[in-house]
Amino acid sequence: MNRQIPRPADFADLLKFRRPTVDRTAARLRRAHTIADLRAIAQRVTPKAPFDYCDGAAEEELSLARARQAFRDIEFHPAILRDVSRVDTSVTVTGGTSAMPFGIAPTGFTRMLHAAGEKAGAAAAGAAGIPFSLSTVGTATPEEVAAVNPDGRNFFQLYMWADRDRSMDVLDRAAAAGFETLLVTVDVPVGGARLRDRYNGLTIPPTLTGRTVFNAIPKVRWWFDFLTTEPFGFSTFKEFDGTVAELLDSMFDPTVTYDDLAWIKDRWPGPVVVKGVQTLEDATRCADLGVDGVLLSNHGGRQLDRAPVPFHLLPRVRHELPDDIEVWVDTGIMSGADVVAAIAMGASFTLVGRAYLYGLMAGGRRGVDRAIEILADEIARTMKLLGVEAVAELEPGHVTQLARLVPVDRA
């Protein structure tokens, strides 16, 4: 090798400095390349109790861990030498178009995680061309969501209360605001044991104690936003003073049956998807009632711990249900590759909850935009690497579910 003394000009070509910025949020989001990166940012900037409310699940959190592991335990089978210079990530779901095969799931108490709350999620979803779902225990009203996402697709999620008139009033408000698809949640006869919330003493609205003040010292922006924006409230009912667990137990109705589901279906003017289906038998019975779709979900692992993994159920349910019944899936989705795997295994659509909320906590509306952008890029890249040009080309041959949890044979 011939050696020479380095010249200053040589270093100039190597040294590339980013222009400094005073916008710390923008800088953080620019460095986030995965949903896990957004989660790490969210944990740094959000007080422990709200972060744990989003991040945690029921009891030992086995259902959530297994659901995420199920997506890791897949093997893709790519085809080569295909023209994938362009890919079409759009799908048709409940009679309308979504720019990508995922939408934003309904989440409760969202303004507790970031002051921008559901308005940020709805506006970001509308800009991206994907559906947004508002929860019964959301912190923006149906009218507010419709105002920030007037041209987008808004879905409404319903918890049935013992007070049926109250439930129908909520339903009518959502319909009047132009919400098109109803998600009826059916896996909540009682609230799950969300132990992180109990240990944190999480209340609605969040309260200041010695421990929360100490924890909040490095999270000044969260408290500033919380204290200088409109008071914390709910989308469909008045203020509640108590813990999250107490609120959920007061809302959920253990007497809800298939008769109630049929009644709701007859009342709602648009498509109905049943959320929280966890067995083939229940999926079949819902289909027999004439619903438009079933959402395989164990509530993000937040209800029954050790519940079935929705992704594992997907192939059997899709095979047994009529083609005109859509089969959606959620729980455990943390990447665009997870979304692609679900679609390949037969899902009509997917919903993401925590993935969007990590972005919200990390940077408000811009964080949600970044979360959607990350998932969209991962979906397009995975499709190209699989050799498919459109979502409709994805099929079970592209994916193998590797066995980790195998049922024991019964005598």
Q: Would 12 be classed as within a structural domain? A: no
Q: Would 64 be classed as within a structural domain? A: yes
Query: What pLDDT is recorded for position 218?
Result: 80
200: which residues sit within 8 A by CB, 6+ positions away?
48, 49, 52, 53
CA distances to 39, 50, 257, 320, 389 from 54, in Å:
10, 7, 29, 34, 35
Q: What is the pLDDT of residues 297-320, one digit of tens each?
A: 999 999 999 999 999 999 999 999
Q: What is the pLDDT of residues 199-238, one digit of tens each?
A: 887 766 666 566 766 776 788 888 888 888 887 766 666 5
Largest CA distance in the chain: 86
Q: In a 10 Å sphere around its CB, with 0-12 CB exposed, 13-18 middle and 19+ buried, how is residue 46 labelled?
A: buried
CA distance 145 to 133: 9
Of the listed ranges 34-38, 58-62, 238-242, the one predicted with least confidence = 238-242
Does the pLDDT of residue 100 top 60, yes or no? yes
Band (pLDDT 50/70/90 cuts) for residue 336 is: very high
Band (pLDDT 50/70/90 cuts) for residue 137 is: confident
Q: Would 184 be classed as within a structural domain? A: yes
Q: pTM for the complete prediction?
A: 0.92
> Does 114 qualify as catalytic in the annotation?
no
Catalytic residue, candidates 77, 114, 299, 398: 299
What is the mean pLDDT of the segment spanning 171-176? 94
Does the pLDDT of residue 243 top 70, yes or no? no
CA distances to 41, 73, 313, 355, 393 from 34, in Å:
11, 18, 26, 10, 25
Q: Would 186 be classed as within a structural domain? A: yes
Q: Would 169 be classed as within a structural domain? A: yes
Does the pLDDT of residue 350 top 60, yes or no? yes
Does the pLDDT of residue 239 top 60, yes or no? no
- In DSSP terms, 401 is beta-bridged to 74
CA distance 88 to 383: 9
Three-class DSSP category at 232: coil
Query: What pLDDT is recorded for position 315?
Result: 96
Query: What pLDDT is recorded for position 199?
Result: 84
Give the helix/strand (H/E) hosting 220. Answer: helix 220-228
**More confident of the two residues 219 and 378:** 378
Q: What is the CATH number of the domain that holds 80?
A: 3.20.20.70
Number of domains in the chain: 1
Give the domain range for residue 150: 33-401
Does the pLDDT of residue 346 top 60, yes or no? yes
Query: What pLDDT is recorded for position 236?
Result: 64
Query: What pLDDT is recorded for position 183?
Result: 98
Of the listed ranges 146-160, 215-229, 270-284, the one predicted with least confidence = 215-229
**More confident of the two residues 315 and 19:** 315
Three-class DSSP category at 92: strand
Band (pLDDT 50/70/90 cuts) for residue 255 is: confident
Query: What pLDDT is recorded for position 320?
Result: 96
Band (pLDDT 50/70/90 cuts) for residue 254 is: confident
Q: Would 261 be classed as within a structural domain? A: yes
Q: Would 136 be classed as within a structural domain? A: yes
CA distance 102 to 332: 13
172: which residues sit within 8 A by CB, 6+ positions away?
none
Average pLDDT, the chain: 90
Give me the percent of the chain exceeding a pLDDT of 70.
89
Contacts 24+ apart (CB under 8 A), 308-312: 308/278, 308/279, 309/63, 309/66, 309/67, 309/70, 309/405, 310/67, 310/278, 311/67, 311/70, 311/71, 311/341, 311/342, 311/345, 311/401, 312/70, 312/401, 312/405
Q: Are the C-beta atoms of 104 and 125 separated by less than 8 Å?
A: yes
Query: What pLDDT is recorded for position 246?
Result: 66
Three-class DSSP category at 124: helix
Q: Would 203 be classed as within a structural domain? A: yes
Band (pLDDT 50/70/90 cuts) for residue 386 is: very high
Does the pLDDT of residue 377 top 90, yes or no? yes
